[in-house]
Each structure stands twice: as structure tokens, then as C-alpha cells.
Amino acid sequence: MWPTLTLLAVVAVGTGFWAWRTSRFARRTESALRQELEELRRSRHLRLAEAEVKQQAVFNSMVEGLLILDEDGRVQFANPALSQLFSLPTEIRGRTLMETLRLHDLQTLSQRVLVEGRVTGVEIHLPSEPHRAIQVNAATVRDPDRALAGTIFVFHDVSRIKQLENVRKEFVANVSHELRTPLSLIKGYVETLLDGAKDDPAVATRFLRTIEKHADRLTFLIDDLLTISQLESGQVAFNIQALDLGDQAEQVLTELGGRGADKKVTVTNEVPPGLRIQADGDRLQQVLFNLVDNAIKYGHVGGHVRIGGRRLAEGAIEGWVSDDGPGIPPEAHTRVFERFYRVDRARSREQGGTGLGLSIVKHIIQSHGGEVSVESSPGQGSTFRFTLPEASPETETLRRASTPE
């Protein structure tokens, strides 16, 4: 009897212990699993949050404007570039496209993208001042069941590209026109000579002189175009050194003296001694040459052209060329520095002008870090001013060291 009772007691205790251990193990496994799951969830959240921060940083740093609409066509997200481009208020979430941007072209585009799925390179124009051209790309976003989840719009401001394109087109049109005019005149004179005018020596000489004048004009034009192109492409290395403004003016006067004499124009160099500038000698000569040449060209017969200069307070030197000619109307003061702009087109052509002289002057002076301007009123003559950096003591020391005594 006792052994049976003992056996039963042992079995009962053993079973109880087993049950206790199993339930403890089960409890431990469940809590460990719960903890593991929690950690997983936390790290997933963390990863998602990290991804969102990165995405936000990308959207915020984008130059292009970004707009995301939800499946109902309401604003879900707009990046700072978009807000700036369209001057949007801070809170636009939940608004429709039309309420947000008020552009019919964009509304049409949003309907098109819903049908086509993706639309690229559509140009819209903002009725703003200054005029803005925006290129828009748009695409729908679909969930795995192909149901519409939203639409993404990317806006790229192409106003500057358009503007440069227009400048280039205008330049090509101007160059073609400027080249064609003397060429067709030359052709006309040659044809007339061949048709018999060559048999009259006086007429032939006159015609040949005219042909020579127009051929010269073509040469000047091509020279000026090459100069502009070299300056704009930054191909020319400037040989900057300390120079005396008065000496430079004197050299230009020697070169242009004959031209002044033809029109009985007196040209005087009034640059005070010791005005030392830091510049490229050849380019400075070109600046002075163009300004004095214009002053003689457009000035009166028997007029007076003066070249002067002074030291400005902030380490800069100002040079000027003035004349007592017919002057320039105020509305043309900034325009005369534009390529091919002339106040009097016929007069410029007659004088062999290319319309590029002052834009070359402006380019050279700006490349030296200076500025150009004109003061003039009709009938009162004109004064063209330019600034250049003053030669620094270091440049002067270098110059003295390299100049043989």
C-alpha cells in the first residue's frame, strides 16, 4: 500500500513541478516575444522617422518647386521653393490646386495628367512682373492596387534660360543684319562697275572708295565681335600691372591725332601726373581709344575733347573723356552701353561705327572691377567716366624691382 501511495505522491509532485516550469517558460517566452516585437516596432518607427527627415531635407533643399496632391486633388505637401516661386501663404494643406495657384493652364494640366499618367515639359507663364516662365512636369502616383494615391508636380523656373535664349537670338539677328548691310552695298557697287561704270575712271574710283569703306566696316565689325566673344568667354588673360593713366592717354592721343585733325578737333590730355592704376595696358588703351574716337566721331567740327582723371577716396582712380558735341538724350544713357544700340543709327554707320565700342568699354572696365557711366544732356556735350583700382604699394615695389635702372 505504502509504495503505491509514495509513487502516487511522487507523480503528483513531479507533474505539479512540470506544470509550474512549463507555465513559467511560456510566460517568459511570451514577454520576451512582446519585448522583441516592441523593439522591432520602435526601430521601424525610428527608421521611418529617419527616412522622413531625410526626405524632408531633400524636398527643402530642392531648387524646383514641388507640390503633392492627394487622391481628391487637395494639397498634401508643398516645399519652400514652391511657396517662394508662387508667393504662397504658409498654410495651404487641404486646398485645391485652383484655390492654391489660380492658374487655368495648371488646372488643365492636372486633368491631363489624370488621364495620361505623366506629362512633361509643359511651359506655363506667370502673370507676374517681371514675367516668369515655368516648366512643369507632373505624374500620378498609384498604390499597389492601381488606385490613385495622388499627383506630384515639379515646377522649374526657366525664365533666366528663356531670357538668355532671347538675348542670343537677338544678337544673332543683329550680327546678321550688320554683316548683310555692307555686303549688299559692296555687291551693288561691284555689279554697277561690271555693268559699265568701270569704264569711267572718276566714277570707278568713287565706287571703289565706297567699296573700301564698307569692307573696312566689315573688318571693324568682325574685330569687335571677336573682342566681345573673347572677353565674354574669359579666354583673354589680363596682364595686370601698375600703369600711369596720363602716359596711357598720351599714347592714345598719338594714335588718334590724325583723326582729330581731320575734323579740326582739339584733343587735350589733362590727366594730372602720378595717377597710377592697376590695369592691363592693351585693354586700357582700347577703352581710351573707343571713348576718344567716339568723342571725335560724334562731336562737332572744330570741337574740343578732353581726357582727365582724379584719385577717388577709396583707393580707386577715375578717368574721363569729355566732349562739347551734341550730347546724348537721358533715356539713352544706360542703353548706349548695350550691344548694337545707337542713338542715331544712320550717323553711326556713316562714321563706320559698329555699335559695339561702348559695350567693349563696359566689359573691359567691369572685368577690372570698375564701373562706367555717362553724363550728358542734348546740346551740352558728353562725359564718359570709368573707375579702375589704384596701383597698390606692393605692385609698385614689384614693378620697380623688375624695371632695369
Could you tell me the smallest distance in angstroms from the CB atom of residue 345 to ligand ADP?
Answer: 7
Using rule CB under 6 A, residue 353 touches ligand ADP: yes
What stretches of 144-216 adopt beta strand conformation (E)? 148-157
Cβ 224 to ligand ADP shortest distance, Å: 8
Determine, following the binding rule CB under 6 A, whether residue 303 of this chain makes contact with ligand ADP.
no
Is 375 near ligand ADP (CB under 6 A)? no
Q: How far apart are CA 99 and CA 40, in angstroms?
A: 42
Q: Pick the closest to residue 342 from 321, 365, 366, 359 (CA basis).
A: 359
Any contact of residue 65 with ligand ADP (CB under 6 A)? no
The nearer residue to ligand ADP, 85 or 287, going by C-beta atoms, is: 287
Residues 6+ apart with CB under 8 A from 362: 337, 372
Please tell me whether residue 355 binds ligand ADP under the rule CB under 6 A. Answer: yes
What distance lies between CA 267 and its chain's CA centroid?
39
| Near ligand ADP by CB under 6 A: residue from 110, 248, 348, 387 | 348
3-state secondary structure 256-324: HHHHHHHCCCEEEECCCCCCEEEEEHHHHHHHHHHHHHHHHHHCCCCCEEEEEEEECCCCEEEEEEEEC
The grid coordinates of residue 75 equal: 494639397
How many chain residues touch ligand ADP (CB under 6 A)? 22
Indicate whether 336 belongs to the interface with ligand ADP (CB under 6 A).
yes
Query: For residues 308 and 319, is the Cβ–Cβ distance under 8 A?
Result: yes
Cα(205)–Cα(197) distance, integer angstroms: 10
* Interface with ligand ADP in residues 241-300 (CB under 6 A): 290, 294-295, 298
Q: Which is nearer to ligand ADP, 207 or 384 (CB)?
A: 384
Can residue 382 be called a binding residue for ligand ADP (CB under 6 A)? yes
* Site stretch for ligand ADP (CB under 6 A), options 76-84, 106-114, 323-331, 396-404: 323-331
Residues of the shown chain interacting with ligand ADP in the complex, contacts defined by CB under 6 A: 290, 294-295, 298, 323, 325-326, 328, 336, 341-344, 348, 353-359, 382
